[in-house]
Chains A and B, each alone.
Chain A
Amino acid sequence: GQQLNQSPQSMFIQEGEDVSMNCTSSSIFNTWLWYKQDPGEGPVLLIALYKAGELTSNGRLTAQFGITRKDSFLNISASIPSDVGIYFCAGRPPLYNQGGKLIFGQGTELSVKP
């Protein structure tokens, strides 16, 4: 089945540093979404991307929908302690008989040292 490879699995950085993570797949997706999850909580939507090549920002976060439709990246600039958490990419496959189901990456665990 379709899989998303998310990297890195974990990152331990200093406050103020920039962060970059990405997801790749062998299959194309129609939508890419980035979520952040705190322990015991539900994923919170950060950025949604709907077109190949689209570059979207949300505050210090920037994400891009790869031109091949098989990858996406998320950058966080000037990290702060509250950025700590697990970041997930998710892709929505082309619609035929798959509805709106999302395929999730394995997550990137971010730790920020003050």
Chain B
Amino acid sequence: DSGVTQTPKHLITATGQRVTLRCSPRSGDLSVYWYQQSLDQGLQFLIQYYNGEERAKGNILERFSAQQFPDLHSELNLSSLELGDSALYFCASSVSTDTQYFGPGTRLTVL
């Protein structure tokens, strides 16, 4: 158990819908990262927050947004969902920008 929690474990929804994925980092970690894992693209960095502020951005679509709250938990919002958004979404956390520990992931299926 990495200490990073993610909910829900599975999410099934329809195209055009909006979903929210939730992540709680390890106790004491200030940085939260979101990654997407798909069969064709592998593990891809989406976005990082550090102590509530956006720190770095990867290839995150405009339909996707994230935030980190004062209690340091983070949410990833995915809107206008498309079939191609089906993937595993992972959250990771670290103290600053060093070693990252991953959560168990949320499997999103868009039908």
Within the complex, the shortest CB–CB distance from A51 to chain B, in Å, comes to 13
Contact check, A43 vs B102: say whether CB atoms are below 8 A apart: yes
Residues of B within 8 A of A95 (CB): 97
Residues of A within 8 A of B104 (CB): 41-42
Within the complex, the shortest CB–CB distance from B47 to chain A, in Å, comes to 9
Tell me how many residue pairs across A and B have CB atoms closer than 8 Å: 67
Main secondary structure of the interface of B (DSSP, over half): strand
Number of contacting residues on B, CB 8 A? 28
Question: Is B18 positioned at the interface, with any CB of A under 8 Å from its CB?
Answer: no
Which of A42, A99, A103 is within 8 Å of B2, CB to CB? A42
Number of contacting residues on A, CB 8 A? 25
A residues whose Cβ falls under 8 Å from a Cβ of B: 31, 33, 35, 40-45, 48, 50, 88, 90, 92, 95, 97-104, 106-107
B residues whose Cβ falls under 8 Å from a Cβ of A: 2, 4, 31, 33, 35, 42-45, 48, 50, 55-56, 58, 88, 90, 94, 96-105, 107
